[in-house]
Amino acid sequence: MSGLRPHDVPEEVDPSDWTLRVTGAVSEPLHIEREESSEFPLETVTDEFECVEGWVAEDLSWRGIRVGSVLDRADPDGDADHVLVRAMDDGYACSFPRSRAADALLAVELDGRSLSVVHGGPARLVPTAAGSDCWESVKWVRSLDVRDSEPIADDTAEGIALGDAE
């Protein structure tokens, strides 16, 4: 299987209860149940995953839904240029410019198998832009909050991911 290192799964992460919500500055807020996710085309991205902890998992094959196709269905407001991606555990979120979020993959498979909860399933954000940091790969994605301004630092978990949280 993959070369990703597993981490403990928070208690509040329940993959059986997964729904993706798209909220905020959109004309059509969405609540996508697992069964409905099959309405979106799947894409595959193969890349290495480099962690700030110093390890690298090579040639990972992620399969999932391009975030842009989900955002298109929600019809973001014209001036909404940021997306806050939140995890199911409520303690982790990451902010992206909308164009960068749109290029990311909402992965549901890893190396030809359903994405396990240990590796971020049922859905994990996999940024595809060059220079993406590993902490931007949000596990257990539950919502995409479209915003017309950049979220403040307190809305994101960069400090948690990098061990800077006090």
Complete domains list, the chain, with CATH: 18-161 (3.90.420.10)
What's residue 164's pLDDT?
45
What's residue 46's pLDDT?
80
The pTM score is 0.83
Instruction: Identify residue 46 by its one-letter amino acid code.
Output: T
**Residue whose C-alpha is closest to residue 67's, from 120, 11, 114, 129:** 129
DSSP 98: H
**Dist. CA 105–CA 42, nearest whole Å:** 9
**Dist. CA 20–CA 79, nearest whole Å:** 23
**Dist. CA 46–CA 116, nearest whole Å:** 18
pLDDT tens-place values along the chain, 166 residues long: 455 555 677 778 888 888 999 999 999 999 999 888 889 999 998 876 665 565 556 678 889 999 999 999 999 999 999 999 999 887 788 889 999 999 999 999 999 999 999 989 999 999 988 767 767 889 999 999 999 988 776 666 655 444 443 3
What's residue 165's pLDDT?
38
**Dist. CA 78–CA 61, nearest whole Å:** 33
What's residue 51's pLDDT?
59
